[in-house]
Amino acid sequence: MRFGYFDNKRREYVIDNPATPRSWTNYLGSTAFGSVITNNAGGYTFYKSAAQGRFLRMPFNSVPMDQPGRYLYLHDHDQKDFWSNSWQPVGKPLSAFKNICRHGTGYTTIASEYKKISSEATYFVPNGKNYECWIVKVKNEDTKHRQLSLFTYVEYASNWNAQDDLINLQYTQYIVNVQAKGNIIDHGTNINLPELPDNFEEKDQGRHTFLAISGALVKGHDTDREAFLGPYRTYANPIVVEEGQCRNSSGVGDNGCGVFQVPLSLAPGEEKSFLVLMGVGAADKEGKAAVADFDTVEKAEQALEEVKQTWHSQLNNFSVDTPDEDFNNFLNTWAPYNCLITNSWSRAASLIYNGERDGLGYRDSVQDVMGTAHLIPEATRERLRLMLSGQVSTGGALPVVKPFAHYPGKMQAPSAEEYRSDDCLWLFNAVPLYVQESGEVDFYKEVIPYADQGEDTVFGHLRRAIMFNLERLGQHGLPCGLLADWNDCLELGQAGETTFVAFQLRHALITYQEIAELLAAPEEAAWAKTELEKVDQNIAENAWDGEWFLRAYRHDGLKFGSQENEEGKIFLNPQVWSIISGYADAQQQEKVLKQVREQLATDFGVMVCAPPFVKTDYTVVRATLMNPGMKENAGIFNHTQGWAIMAEALAGNGDQAYAYFKATNPATYNESAEVRECEPYVVCQSTHSKYSPKYGASRLPWLSGAATWLYYAATQHILGVQPVLEGIKIDPCIPAHWKEFSVQRIFRDKTLHIAYKNPEQVQKGVKSIELNGTTLQGQMIPMELLQDTNNIIITLG
Ligand code: GLC
C-alpha cells in the first residue's frame, strides 16, 4: 500500500494519505534553530540543542502519535463545525477531508480541503533566522459567504529543558509565564532571573520565545493550555475551538500555550493569507523585529524560495541519471538531504532521539561528514576541526562533543573504562575524504588543540589515534575492544579483542603511510609500514576462522562470530572490512562474500550477525538484551549496508552490489509502505530481520550512519566517481543491465558531465576515458586537464 509519491522535479515527497503507518517527518532550520515536523503537523522546536534548548513540548512515544505540534484549527461560525488544517489532531473522516503534505528540503506544506474551505500552511525557517515562519492561506471555495475563525496552537515547554519539562513538574509548573501583548505572545520561563548567554547549559535562567501574527487582525488569545482545551478534552476537541471563541486566558504557571484567534470573513472565492512567526527571544524585541522583517506574505514567500535555493544548490553538486528512477531520486535528493540533516543533528533530535543523546556522538559525527564534504565543504572542514578538538591527548575521544558547550584544552578526558576502541579510527575515512574533495593538503598541517590538553597538527592527531590502538593490543595482538567498538553491544573490555577494529587499524596505517609520503615524512611512512606488517601478521594468525573472519575474542579467549558458536556464528563487519581495508585476497573475498550472501543477506538487507543471541548470557554479549532479529541482535543494521555494497563492488560484483543497494533503498518500499512503515524517502537505523515477527519493518528514521555510507557506497563505488588528490578516479561497478547512465558533479569548482557507455554489459572495468575529446590513459582524470566545464565519456568493457 502506498501513502504518497516522489515529486522529483520539486524535490518533494508528497503524502496524499495522511493516515501513514507512523509519523513521517521532516526537518526545518539549521543547527542554530531546528524543528522536527510530521505530516500531521506534530513535532517540536528547539534552539541549539533538542535537550537543553527545547521550547516546544513533545511527550515522546505517546498516543495519539506525534502530538502536540504546530496546529491551525478552523471554526465555522455558521455551521458550528471545526477541523484542523492537518488531518490530525481533529481527524475528520478522510472521505470528507482531503489532505496533502509536501515534505521538501527545509520546508513542509500541509494543505487540506473540507466543506468547501481550502487551507494551507507552509512551515520553514528563513535563512539565518532563529524563528519559524508559517505561511497560512485560507480560501472560500464556496458560492456563499463564510464566517470562520482560525486558531493557532503550540504548546510550550515549561522550562527550556526537555527532561525537566516532562518530569520535574513540582518545579517547572511554577516558572512558566506566557503573556499576549497585542499580536505577539511572549513565552517566558524564569523571567525574573537574568539571561546567561555564555552559559547555555544552565537551565535556570530567564528565557523567552515569541509567537506573532503578521498580516491579520487578532481577535483573542489563550496562553493557558487548560483554559484552551477544557478539562478531560484532547487536542481533537479543544473547548475554545468548539465554541469558536478565545477566553483570553493567561498562562502563568501550569502549562503555557500559544493560541491566537484570527477572524476570517471570506466572500465566495476569496483567499486570505497571513504569517505566523515563532522563535527565540522576547515579544517586545525579537518578536517585533520578526514582524518587521516579515510584514508581508510576499516577503515570506521570497524567503521560502531562498531556503529552497540554498538546499537545492547544495544538492546540485552531484546528480545522476540511470535507468533506475529510485536510484536517481535517492541520490539526487533524499540521500544527500538525509546526510545533511544527520550531520546537523547527529543522534539528538527526531521523534526517537529526544535529546537524551545531546551533542555530537564522536564516532557517529566523524562518519557523518563523509556524506557532506562535497555538498558543504566549508562547514565540513569546521565540523572536522570541532571533532578533532574532541580527541583527547591519549589519542582516544570524548564520547560526545557538544558544540554549544565545548572548551578545547579544558575538557575532562574519559576514564580508562570509558573509551571506545573505534572512535578516532573513523578520522582515517573522514579527514582524507575532505582533503581529497577540497585539495587542501595543508589541512593536515593545521594545528588543532586536543580536548583535554596540548595540541598537534591534524597529521599528529592521526598518529595519536593510531598509537591509542597500538598501545591497547590484546594477547593475540589485535586491538582491544574497550567499552565497545562500532557495535555498542560488544563490551569486550580492556583485554578482549576485536577483529573489526584490527581491519580499521590496518586501513588507518595504510592511509597514514600515504599521508606521510605526501607530506614528505619518510620516517613516519616507514613506521606505519612496519606497524602494518605486525598488524597483518596478527590478523593472519588469529582472525581467520576457516570459512570467514572471526568477530572478536573475549578476555578469556571465548570467540564471537566463529563456527564454534551456536549463536552469533558470523558477523558482517569483519567480512566486509577485510575487503574494504584491502586485507582479503581474491580467494578470501570470494569466500566471505559467499558466506555473507548465504548466512546474512535477506530481502530487506544484510543482517549484522546471525543467528541471533537468545540463550547467550547478557554478560557475554549485550545483544541478548534485544529481541531476536532487532538492531544489533541479528537485525538488519542499515549503517552497515553501505559496507556490504562497497565490499561487493570492490570484488567486482556489480549486480550483487546493486541488489544490496535496492534492498535497502527506502523508495523500493514505497508501494509496500505498510510493511516498512517508515518514511519511503528516509533511511532508518535498522530493519527487523527474518528472526523478528515484524520482518521488514524499519525503525529510527533519519539519524544514523545509514544515509552516509549508502550514499558514499553508491557514488564512489557503484558509480565509481572517486575524488583523489590528483583529480578524479573513475572506477564504477554497476549492474550489467545498465547500458548508459550519466553523472554530473562539481569538483573543486569545476563541472563534470560524465556519460557512461556500457555496450558489452559488463559490471566493472574501464576501457577508455575521453575528456573533452581527448582520450586518456588509465582510470584517472587529472586535475590539471580539467576545464571549467568538462564532457567526459567513459566506455566500460
Ligand atoms: C548506533 C550508534 C552508533 C553505533 C551503532 C552500532 O547507531 O549511534 O554509535 O556504532 O549503533 O551499535
What topology does CATH give the domain 346-534?
A: Glycosyltransferase (1.50.10)
Residues 6 or more apart from 677 whose CB is under 8 A from it?
21, 22, 697, 698
Q: Which of 364, 483, 609 to mutate to test the pocket of ligand 1 (most atoms within 8 A of CB)?
A: 364
Sign of the alpha-carbon dihedral angle for 560, 563, 568, 573:
positive
Q: What is the mean pLDDT of residues 497-502?
A: 98
- pLDDT digits 0-9 by tens, 394-429: 999 999 999 999 999 999 999 999 999 999 999 999
**Cβ 639 under 6 angstroms from ligand 1:** yes
- Angle CA(777)–CA(780)–CA(782) in degrees, nearest 5? 100
The C-alpha torsion from 518 through 523 and 526 to 531, rounded to 10°, is -110
Answer yes or no: same fold for 4-313 and 721-796.
no
What topology does CATH give the domain 544-707?
A: Glycosyltransferase (1.50.10)
- Among the listed residues 81, 142, 293, 488, the single catalytic one is 488
Distance, in Å, from the CA atom of 228 to the CA atom of 654, rounded to the nearest integer, reads 60
Cell numbers placing 228: 484552551
Whether 488 is catalytic: yes
Superfamily of domain 4-313: Glycoside hydrolase, family 65, N-terminal domain (2.70.98.40)
C-alpha of residue 36 to centroid of ligand 1, in Å: 22
User: Is the pLDDT at 620 greater than 90, yes or no?
Assistant: no
Band (pLDDT 50/70/90 cuts) for residue 492 is: confident
User: Is the pLDDT at 478 greater than 90, yes or no?
Assistant: yes
Side-chain half-sphere exposure of 567, counting CA atoms within 13 A: 18
User: Is the pLDDT at 334 greater than 90, yes or no?
Assistant: yes
What's the pLDDT at 622? Answer: 86
Least confident of 82-86, 553-557, 683-687: 553-557
Q: Whose CA is nearest to atom 7 of ligand 1?
A: 704
**Cβ 717 under 6 angstroms from ligand 1:** no
Distance, in Å, from the CA atom of 492 to the CA atom of 447, rounded to the nearest integer, reads 34
**Cβ 364 under 6 angstroms from ligand 1:** yes
Q: Structural domain boundaries of the chain?
A: 4-313, 346-534, 544-707, 721-796
User: Is the pLDDT at 494 greater than 90, yes or no?
Assistant: no
C-alpha of residue 360 to centroid of ligand 1, in Å: 12
Q: What is the mean pLDDT of residues 321-349?
A: 97
Q: Which atom of ligand 1 is nearest to the CA of 363?
A: 9
Q: Which CATH architecture has domain 721-796?
A: Sandwich (2.60)
- pLDDT digits 0-9 by tens, 7-52: 999 999 999 999 999 999 999 999 999 999 999 999 999 999 999 9
Q: What is the mean pLDDT of residues 200-209?
A: 96
Distance, in Å, from the CA atom of 526 to the CA atom of 388, rounded to the nearest integer, reads 25
What's the pLDDT at 755? Answer: 98
What's the pLDDT at 17? Answer: 98
Neighbours of 248 (CB within 10 A): 15
Tell which residue, 405, 396, 331, 329, has the closest CA to residue 366.
396
Mean pLDDT, the chain, rounded, equals 97
What's the pLDDT at 791? Answer: 98
Sign of the alpha-carbon dihedral angle for 24, 30, 35, 39:
negative
Q: Which of 490, 639, 641, 687 to mutate to test the pocket of ligand 1 (most atoms within 8 A of CB)?
A: 639
0.95 exceeded by pTM? yes
Q: Which atom of ligand 1 is nearest to the CA of 347?
A: 8
- pLDDT digits 0-9 by tens, 671-730: 999 999 999 999 999 999 999 999 999 999 999 999 999 999 999 999 999 999 999 999
